[in-house]
């Protein structure tokens, strides 16, 4: 497979089609609505102009380090910032198939031989901070249940007395996690990768595991560098949910809440419409005098309307009613999407910090 073919494969796996369309417009290329058409355009353009390949590789790198991540945020004492910065900048990257391919995905044959442990594949810096990229093989298990009324004739013959069959399917993916320090804000971000796939939707429980494993790696890595523990618990984002709901500068896309009448609701809006302005939600909220206990929220900001940047970063704080009813509810990470560059990541972090004041 040629480098351009590998590039297209990696783009399809890690970058949304909307981002690719905007990028192609920026480099004066025609665009399309399907990946099949986009792939043909990209292959042709790269063959004619090598700089197109480099721009797409750079776009892939930006998406890899900042977009579609489950992010935990840790406040860092100012005395520890120089040491953490130096540890990240000077991190040793050993040669490996994962490193040689980065920012592209490594060949499937090499990934199969990977031991599944975090490996440093790159260091990077931007205008707000410094970070390292970690990669590894991950095996995700998809569970599907089939009730008897969904059995095929062959299944009914093979399992005549069974009422349900549970099928497990494993998916192998290469993931890219990030340890990043925002220098000015003094916040360490642990960005756990979320795979893009129609056939594999990672659960909150799987993301919790990913976050714990990334935190474990970062704790050991930074302890070895500074000979002391430099972070503990992440920011609890649960108390922020109410402030996010009240933010007039964004559009609420998703909301989970309960009411005093023991009703539990999950509402979602599409097309960039603010859920707060939707009639059913608006008048329903008024009917209960806005007495809602929020446990999940997603918001998108149109930065063009805020500070002139042409991007739409999204923040999703996942949660459940069960968690909200606990004595000390917590949300240890947020799902971040729509990141076009490092300024979007800094924008989201700035918003979160403002909500905590």
Predicted confidence at residue 280, as pLDDT, reads 65
Tracing tokens 């979160």 back to the chain, one arrives at 352
146-to-132, 152, 162, 163 alpha-carbon distances in Å:
43, 10, 10, 9
Buried-exposed string 197-215: b where 16+ CB fall within 10 A, e elsewhere: eeeeebeeebbeebbebbb
Looking at residue 201, what is its pLDDT? 64
Among 200, 138, 203, residue whose Cα is nearest residue 169: 200
Query: Are 10 and 104 contacting, i.e. CB atoms less than 8 angstroms apart?
Result: yes
CA–chain centroid gap for 154, Å, is 41
Question: Pick from 101, 99, 100: which is nearest to 118 by CA?
Answer: 99
User: Which stretches in the chain have pLDDT values below 70?
Assistant: 1, 196-201, 279-291
pLDDT of 266 reads 87
Q: CA-CA distance, 71 to 231, in Å (whole number)?
A: 15
**What pLDDT was estimated at residue 231?**
95
Whether 252 contacts 269, CB under 8 Å = yes
What's the confidence (pLDDT) of residue 281? Answer: 65
> pLDDT per residue over 170-204, tens digit each?
888 999 999 999 999 999 999 999 986 655 567 77
Give the model's pLDDT for residue 133.
98
- What count of other Cβ atoms lies within 10 Å of the Cβ of residue 287? 10
| Residue 331 and residue 232 in contact, taking contact as beta carbons nearer than 8 Å | no
What is residue 206's predicted lDDT score, i.e. its pLDDT? 82
Using alpha carbons, list the distances in angstroms from residue 61 to 126, 307, 330. 12, 24, 32
Extents of the domains making up the chain:
3-64, 69-226, 238-331
């Amino acid at each position: 497979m040629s480098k351009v073919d590998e590039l297209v494969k990696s783009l399809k796996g890690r970058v949304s089609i909307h981002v690719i369309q905007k990028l192609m417009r920026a480099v004066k290329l025609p665009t399309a609505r399907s990946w099949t058409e986009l792939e043909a355009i990209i292959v042709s353009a790269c063959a004619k102009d090598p700089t197109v390949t480099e721009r797409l590789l750079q776009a892939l790198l930006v998406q890899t380090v900042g977009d579609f991540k489950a992010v935990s945020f840790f406040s860092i004492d100012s005395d520890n910032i120089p040491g953490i910065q130096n540890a990240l900048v000077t991190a040793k990257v050993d040669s490996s198939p994962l490193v040689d391919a980065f920012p592209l995905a490594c060949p499937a044959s090499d990934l199969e031989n990977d031991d599944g442990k975090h490996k440093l594949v790159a260091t990077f810096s931007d205008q707000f901070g410094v970070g390292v990229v970690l990669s590894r093989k991950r095996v995700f298990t998809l569970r599907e249940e089939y009730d008897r009324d969904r059995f095929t004739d062959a299944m009914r013959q093979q399992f005549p007395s069974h009422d349900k069959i549970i099928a497990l399917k494993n998916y192998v993916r290469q993931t890219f996690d990030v340890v990043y320090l925002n220098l000015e804000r003094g916040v360490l971000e642990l960005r756990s990768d979320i795979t893009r796939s129609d056939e594999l939707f990672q659960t909150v429980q799987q993301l919790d595991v990913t976050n714990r494993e990334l935190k474990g790696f970062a704790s050991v890595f930074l302890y070895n560098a500074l000979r002391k523990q430099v972070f503990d618990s992440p920011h609890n984002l649960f108390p922020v949910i109410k402030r996010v709901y009240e933010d007039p500068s964004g559009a609420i896309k998703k909301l989970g809440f309960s009411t005093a009448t023991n009703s539990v609701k999950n509402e979602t809006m599409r097309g960039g419409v603010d859920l707060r302005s939707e009639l059913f939600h608006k008048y329903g909220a008024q009917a209960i005098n806005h007495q809602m206990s929020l446990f999940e929220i997603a918001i998108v900001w149109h930065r063009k309307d805020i500070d002139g940047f042409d991007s739409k970063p999204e923040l999703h704080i996942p949660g459940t009613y069960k968690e909200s009813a606990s004595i000390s509810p917590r949300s240890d990470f947020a799902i971040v999407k729509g990141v076009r560059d490092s300024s979007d990541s800094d924008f989201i972090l700035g918003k979160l910090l403002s909500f905590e004041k």
